[in-house]
Amino acid sequence: MRKLLLLFLPLLGLAQAPYSVEGSAVYRGTFLLGAWEGKNPTARGEVFWDGKEKAGGKVCLDQRAWDSGNEERDEKARKILKVEAYPEACLHLERAYRDGEVFWVEGRLEMVGQKRPVRIEGRLFEGFPLRFEGRFRTRFSDWGLERPSLLFLQVDDPVEVRLRATLHLK
């Protein structure tokens, strides 16, 4: 039994160790005539997870780096997100846990000078490094932001955000 305990002690330490995070975010905007995506590969940070539910740390991305493939749309997005005053959006982790196949991450999203609760549904892929893929929805109206217009049509209020992250032991 003692040998078995000695074998698992290092694994318990890994679960509580800090992880450096690098990743990306993709938003999907829709309106009556279609949809588009904007990508941002700048997510970086440090997180902690106890292997059960307790989590902490933060991951931030540079709001100036959104790229939808259309510079005019990206410039409008930067204006709406007030990137001059708030260049980063940060996820502050509070809780992370498994529920069957689903891995949930909960925390607060900080953007445009505000913090709002967020719950991200995803999958955690075991191995070294760990990988996470998840998604959540938010609304322009939740943040008090103007909804952009395209061809005189207003963009839908909900926006889907997909995340990918690689977690390396520090």
For the chain, give every domain's residue range.
19-169
pLDDT score of 41 more than 60: yes
Q: Quote the CA–CA distance of 102 and 105 in Å, as a whole number.
A: 10
Q: In CATH terms, is domain 19-169 a member of 3.40.50.1820?
A: no
pLDDT score of 11 more than 70: no
Q: Quote the CA–CA distance of 92 and 59 in Å, as a whole number.
A: 7
Residue with tokens 């009556």: 32
pLDDT score of 4 more than 80: no
- Which pLDDT score, from 0 to 100, does residue 16 have? 64
pLDDT score of 98 more than 90: yes
- Which pLDDT score, from 0 to 100, does residue 150 have? 74
Q: What mean pLDDT is predicted for residues 3-20?
A: 52
Q: Please give the span between the terminal C-alpha atoms of the chain, in angstroms, as a whole number.
A: 30
Q: What is the pLDDT of residues 125-150, one digit of tens each?
A: 988 899 999 999 999 999 999 998 87
Q: Quote the CA–CA distance of 63 and 88 in Å, as a whole number.
A: 5
Give pTM, 2 decimals: 0.87
Q: Quote the CA–CA distance of 82 and 121 in Å, as a whole number.
A: 27
CA-to-CA dists, residue 61 to 45, 76, 109, 151, angstroms: 9, 18, 11, 29
Average pLDDT, the chain: 90
- Which pLDDT score, from 0 to 100, does residue 15 have? 52
Q: What percent of the chain has pLDDT over 70?
A: 91
Q: Quote the CA–CA distance of 113 and 96 in Å, as a whole number.
A: 24
In the chain, what's the furthest Cα-to-Cα distance? 70
pLDDT score of 9 more than 90: no
Q: How many CB atoms sit inside 10 A of residue 144's CB?
A: 8
